Structure 1
Amino acid sequence: MKTRKIGIIGVGHVGAHVLSALVTQGIADEIVLIDSNPAKSACECQDIKDSIPYMPHRVRVSVGDYPDLKDCDVVVNASGKISILAETHDRVEEMKFTVPAAKGFIPKVKASGFNGIFLNISNPCDIITAEIAKGLDLPKGHVFGTGTGLDSARLISHLAETTGIDHKSITAYMIGEHGNSQFAPWSQVAFGSHKLEELVAEDERFRFDRDAMIQETVDGAWTVFAGKGCTEYAIAATAARIIRAIFHDEKAIIPVSAPLDGDFDEHDVFAGVPAIIGKDGCEEVVELHLTDEELEHFHKCCAGIRENIKVADEM
């Protein structure tokens, strides 16, 4: 029986929490850790191994190097330098570290013979994902990013708290750039089978301040960052959810940083949109029926992403 193997590049705050989520949920059978600081990967490896006897699943965790990624089913890039965000609340600024880091490991991943699914977490997510996809030259959809997945979950959480409806009964997405320009297409928000617009006239619970909720959603990461200097649990849960969908071929619709090739009238760009996630990674973009205003906003997001990709290409 085939085992499920995952590689994690970068075992800092995010990478370590992804490791913990994967082990706790029993999503992988084997996990290999790679970090530019060998002592960091070694200590995280030992710490998580000490916890496994009390976990419901047996998982093998080891410190490795890039050749060990050859037979991985999924590789996660969580490399980063979160302290850069202390200077500015703009994820694009993280390019100063994450672009050179990605360009440094891409040839090593490719040389290993890796031919699985590559999930990028590092910010700016859409830009780094594009760089990795270009460098690895894997089939379309085999490289994608977590993108607006976490932001969408935060929006749903706010909607649940405001309306009293269980979050599992709410459909809502943050789309566009995984950054300050992302937005929610309100025309697509639904509670069960009812669109938000249908409910506004009937129930005052649904007459909330939409602009304030979007701002709260965008600012949520900074609230966490201001308190402890990083974000950990939610992004780790997002990555774990995506990987579980891959391993079980769920065909689950999850917002991710997906390659657009004509979807939403956009080409050759990665952006946050809902997509079908299964054994072949990001298998299909779910194209929403946006209003003209929403579509214009989305195009502006993609234009901004393209400009930043040009900057990254020159770094």
Structure 2
Amino acid sequence: MAGILDSSRMETFISQKLGFGYGQVTASVIGGHGDDMVPLPRYSSVNGVALTDLLSDEEIKEIIELTRQGGAEIVGYMGTSAYYAPANSIVKMIEAILNNSRAIFPCSVLLEGKYGYNNTVNGVPVVLGANGVEKILELPLNLEEQQQFAKSVNSVENLLDTLRKNNFFAS
């Protein structure tokens, strides 16, 4: 659900920066939630026009930073954790499953050989349908994106290790 939330935030910031295209922006964010998310501007577009053709590198970097800090900003305004946007993300996932729409969303899944990882969980694009995750889509990542994704995988693994050490998963 975090990947949907982060992608939606990035889409909003892109529309705001451009001043047009709201509802036509598709942004792609993989990895964990927060500082270790991996926004993918080259897989983001406005009605089929590549984001990299519409905005400068500096403007894209600004949008990426806003996307990474967006959740903390909302918490600061509300004085509490955000809940409407995460709930909306969950609704989108449930609708895709119930309607068998086979929609593509970034979701946390067990990676078994995908993106070069095994036995680890992280956010990547998947096809969601009546059977839940029906397919994991493996995007070709450039070196910088691979390094960012590796950092995200490591961060999630460290979090899981901490939970395991504290018997969080014990029944």
Q: After TM superposition, is the score higher than 0.5?
A: yes
Unpaired stretches in structure 2, ≥5 consecutive residues: 167-171
Q: Which residue is equivalent to 2:10?
A: 155
1:254 to partner: Cα distance: 1.0
Task: Give every structure 1 segment of 4 or more consecutive aligned residues whose post-TM-superposition deviation is greater than 3 Å.
Answer: none
Task: Give the equivalent residue in structure 1 for 2:41.
Answer: 186
User: How far has the Cα of 1:185 moved from its partner?
Assistant: 1.7
CA distance in 2, matches of 1:284, 1:225: 33
In structure 1, the partner of 2:19 is 164
Tell me how far apart the structure 1 counterparts of residues 73 and 89 of structure 2 sit (CA, whole Å). Answer: 18
How many residues are matched? 164
C-alpha distance in structure 2 between counterparts of 1:151 and 1:195, whole Å: 19
Matches within 5 A, 1:206-245: 206-207=55-56, 209-228=59-78, 229-245=80-96
Richer in strand (by share) = 2
* CA RMSD across the alignment: 1.6
Q: When the two structures are superposed, what TM-score results if normalisation uses the length of structure 1? A: 0.49
- Taking structure 1 as reference, are residues 255 and 308 closer, same or farther at Cα in structure 2, changes over 3 Å only? same
Q: Is the 8 A contact 1:147 1:271 kept in 2?
A: no
Contact 1:250–1:278 (8 Å) recurs in 2: yes
Larger radius of gyration: 1
Kindly indicate whether structure 1 or structure 2 has the higher relative contact order, using CA contacts under 8 Å at least 6 residues apart: 2
Amino acid of the structure 1 residue aligned with 2:23: K
User: Which amino acid counterpart does residue 159 of structure 2 have in structure 1?
Assistant: N
The answer to whether the Cα contact below 8 Å between 1:188 and 1:290 also exists between their aligned partners in 2 is no
Q: What is aligned with 1:21? A: none
Q: Which amino acid aligns with 1:275?
A: V
Q: Percent identity, aligned pairs only?
A: 24
Per-residue deviation, residues 144-178 of structure 1 (Å, max 9, x unmatched): xx132101100001111112342432221121111
Instruction: Give the unaligned 5+ runs of structure 1.
Output: 1-145, 201-205
